[in-house]
Structure 1
Amino acid sequence: MGNRQSRPWIVLDELWSLVEPLLPTPGPKKVQGRLRVPDRQALCGILFVLHTGIQWEYLPQELGFGSGMTCWRRLAAWNEAGVWDQLHQLLLNELRSKDRLDWERAVIDSARAGCPTGPKSGPSPIDRARPGSKHHLIVDGQGIPLAVSLTGSNRNDVTQLLPLLDKISPVAGRVGRPRRRPDALLADRGYDHDIYRRQLWQRGIRPVIARRGEPHGIGLGIFRYVVERTIAWLHGFRRLRIRWERRDEIHEAFLGLATCLITHRHLQRLR
């Protein structure tokens, strides 16, 4: 099947064995007589778009992916069925079963992605009011993604702190109750607000948030770099650097799939 590093859109057996049981049963064919593109090939086409950033209509059918519209429909249907959320949950459970999730601290941050106007976009306060979206991400102490979300660029980071924290699903994999709360949450000055500090304490989470006006280099950077690295990995997928999709749920589908791929890489390092 070729070199995996040079063809990262190829779905290997180990990943496919996790994805296939989660896919919904296909509905009746709309066009009789035409063979249905196998799900695995359609997923390869989706990954090709995610990795290269190519437009759907230019997806090379000679590689066996099917048409761009076919892959687009599968991505939308699988996202609606919660496939990427379920896959991410499975991966986190397995990481916790191997004691590879660092719950001592979590780190939160965001990054902007330019986009045309549409749902979950807004004028950027730091880029001459150009329209854009934001990717909000919370990771464990190693940079493993725990939750991700999409908002407009005009949404203040601190307003997404609690919603993103609440988006972390309970992670099982070990004896006892599933876990979803870190011991501490690290954040930069964009999250500096005493109301949110108090709410974190009420949830049993110790806030470690830089205060405005404090000089740089006070020590948080040695822990916060993991979230910046994971954001760089997310934007290593070219389709996420600029949001081309007007429909926010399609961009969120790409975001969820990329989160699963990054989490899966962490799991592969253990094997």
Structure 2
Amino acid sequence: MRWKGRRVSQNVEDRRGGAKVGGVSILGLIVAFIAWKFFGTDPQQAYQATKHMTAQIQPAETDGLDQPTQDQKEAMTFVGTVLADTEDTWANIFKIQLQAEYRAPKLVLFNREVQSSCGIAQSSMGPFYCPADYKVYIDTSFFKDMKIQMGISGERNQTELSRNDLAGDFAQAYVIAHEVGHHVQNLLGISDQVYKMRSRISQTKANQLSVRQELQADCFAGIWAHHNQKRTQFLDNGDLEEAMDAAHKIGDDYLQKRAMGQVVPDSFTHGTSAQRMKWFQTGFQTGKIAACDTFAQEI
């Protein structure tokens, strides 16, 4: 993936230095507890709980890294460049396809734990989008774990990896674009509609609705890649295969089989490997928002 030398977004908040004195109000802690208690580790559902209880968690004061390593600096530049690409691409898509103005999200980099308007989250949750504050949250250590878990390091020798710590960079860009896809859903009112529907149906059907929401975010990531390729010619040979491999290895069936040795379809919340690959490809091939209506089509 060719990403160096392009514009770097100013909408990146570096909280990797940790929190200082300050933080959460008592009411915010109570609301956060209720949100996590009833909605588990789904930050979007935690957001809805806080939203409907008309309370917010106040963000703690945070700093970036005092002495970032070269790898950490490069990770910051990479994330900022991908975010800038999503800004430029979605602004144009909104203007042409929706005759509307795009509101860009913020992207927060953090270490181990972060406080958002959707509650307190840990790195183990992976990247997530919080609709309450219009922000994407990413612990950049996730990318290193992602390389190991997805076998990217196995496809390239260790010498190559030491020269290019961002090997597998398009798979990482796909993750960022997926979370930005949730931001697009938020702007379009889809997230609120899903929440309202989930509150009236069984857990199994609610999970199925979540799958459709996640697959649409995959499709939106494909749309971004489609238009960004036309705009910047940023893809190298093998990049799409890399994204497909990433989509395959974060499918619910793949993860459950690997972790438990069995698959429980009723518990799926993000979609199977085949579904995730299919919908990214749909977005990439068409480049159209209308093609990503996972709620009205067979998934």
- What range is the shorter-chain TM-score in? under 0.3
Per the normalisation by structure 2, the TM-score is 0.26
Per the normalisation by structure 1, the TM-score is 0.28
**Which structure has the bigger radius of gyration?**
1
